[in-house]
Amino acid sequence: MLARIRHPRPPRPASRRRWPAVAIAALACTTLVTAASDAGAACFDRKTQPYTMVVDAHLHYRPFGGPAIPFTEVNGYLAKAGVKYANVFGIGQALPVDSPCTYYLNCPGTPVLPTMNNDYVNAENYTEDKPDDVRLSMSMTFPDLANPAGIPGQIATLDGWYPRIFTWMGEANVMKQALLPNHFEPATKADIEAWAPFMKILRDRNMPITLHSDLGNADNPTQFLGLMREVLQRYPNNKILWAHMGLSRELPAIDTALHQRVLDGLLKRHPNLYLDVSWRILQDLYFSKPGVSESYAAFFDKYSTRVIPGTDFVASRDKSYAVYQEELEVNSRIYQYVNDESFRNIALGQNYFRLLGLRDTAPPVCTS
Ligand SMILES: [Zn+2]
């Protein structure tokens, strides 16, 4: 049996608030008819049922700073929107508690540093308020990938308090240019080499890791590709999700053919690489241009088993259900263009089930 490791437990966060039972009941009553609720049907009819994903594999329950939307309220959003599976991410880097900022871009100079606090808060909320209508996978979001020596010890600490709760790691940042004004330290190739002990733990547990690693920027669209290559070459047997396919606001436009060529090369060479296609900027900056959705949909059809859906919603208290619903819809728009096999694998969750070793199966898509 696993010995409980004694470490000081962090104080319970002030922002934890329970929803009144009445409010939860009201939410349950307003649950929409959705893809997921029809999953028991013989087949999924894309003509009459929603194109929104039933898996949100990239969801931050904790904000960069300021109050969070309560855990049970976020779970209510998922149920209402027809999302049946979600990854519970903290946030890789948090603002200091005494900062008035809620978003790092608004406060350059304020340090945004890795912390374990959000993982404790999420795990505590999960053990107390585990929902029965949404299946959650808890994720360790704390790793400081530029200073990896402490990561195995930190995993042991979380294990001590919350054994067998965590089944995922990330979103952790290799290179995130947007955070550079906030004292963020990107991982170097030497740091990546030093990940070996914790990457072995992930392999032994079959735990996927979601990595944010910017591909490049407007001046050099592939400036940081070498970092992702280094990760994939060094850890070919780890299940690695490349967050946002490497895209970011710092790379507001990239030649579609060039981007897909990069992805194609990596996906061919590294069978354990998956594309995390979350974040609304993918739709807003790229897919919304003429012909681009069709092009990426064809690419997803080619690598239909290697794409994982998500929203990248960040649950800060200034947002509401309407924002989650909008981000879910915007992030799902691309799935209108993929073929039936891809739709089942990606939007209906089959890839996610396989990745996590779940016994669940997505319904087949109806043929007309
Ligand atoms: Zn994210």
Q: What is the pLDDT of residue 15?
A: 38
Ligand 1 center from residue 51 Cα (angstroms): 22
Ligand 1 center from residue 312 Cα (angstroms): 5
Ligand 1 center from residue 255 Cα (angstroms): 23
Superfamily of domain 47-356: Metal-dependent hydrolases (3.20.20.140)
Ligand 1 center from residue 58 Cα (angstroms): 6
Q: What is the pLDDT of residue 120?
A: 95
Ligand 1 center from residue 171 Cα (angstroms): 6
The tokens of 309 are what?
């859906």
Instruction: Tell me the pLDDT of the chain (368 aa) as tens digits.
Output: 333 433 444 434 333 333 333 333 333 333 333 444 444 568 999 999 999 999 999 999 998 888 999 999 999 999 999 999 999 999 877 667 777 777 767 788 777 778 899 999 999 999 999 999 999 999 999 999 999 999 999 999 999 999 999 999 999 999 999 888 777 889 999 999 999 999 999 999 999 999 999 999 999 999 999 999 999 999 999 999 999 999 999 999 999 999 999 999 999 999 999 999 999 999 999 999 999 999 999 999 999 999 999 999 999 999 999 999 999 999 999 999 999 999 999 999 999 999 999 999 999 999 97
Q: Domain residue spans in the chain?
A: 47-356
Ligand 1 center from residue 170 Cα (angstroms): 9
Q: What is the pLDDT of residue 97?
A: 73
Ligand 1 center from residue 313 Cα (angstroms): 7
The tokens of 251 are what?
């790379």
**Predicted confidence (pLDDT) per residue in 185-205, tens digit:** 899 999 999 999 999 999 999
Asked whether the beta carbons of 87 and 310 are under 8 A apart, the reply is: yes
Torsion angle, CA of 341/345/347/353, rounded to 10 degrees? 160
Please tell me the distance from the alpha carbon of residue 211 to that of residue 228, in angstroms, as a whole number: 9
**Sequence letter at residue 250:** E
Q: Which of 364, 298, 354, 346 is nearest to 58 (CA)?
A: 346
**Predicted confidence (pLDDT) per residue in 101-117, tens digit:** 777 677 887 777 788 99
Q: What is the pLDDT of residue 41?
A: 61
- How many Å is the Cα radius of gyration of the chain? 20
Please tell me the distance from the alpha carbon of residue 242 to that of residue 256, in angstroms, as a whole number: 17
Please tell me the distance from the alpha carbon of residue 319 to that of residue 73, in angstroms, as a whole number: 11
Asked whether the beta carbons of 300 and 307 are under 8 A apart, the reply is: yes
Backbone angles phi and psi of 226, in degrees to 5: -55, -35
Please tell me the distance from the alpha carbon of residue 86 to that of residue 292, in angstroms, as a whole number: 27
Ligand 1 center from residue 119 Cα (angstroms): 15
Q: Determine the length of the chain.
A: 368
Q: What is the pLDDT of residue 7?
A: 42
**Predicted confidence (pLDDT) per residue in 346-359, tens digit:** 999 999 999 999 99
Q: What is the pLDDT of residue 47?
A: 96
Please tell me the distance from the alpha carbon of residue 135 to that of residue 31, in angstroms, as a whole number: 16
Ligand 1 center from residue 179 Cα (angstroms): 13
Angle made by CA atoms 316, 317, 322, in degrees to the nearest 5: 90
Ligand 1 center from residue 280 Cα (angstroms): 11
Ligand 1 center from residue 172 Cα (angstroms): 9
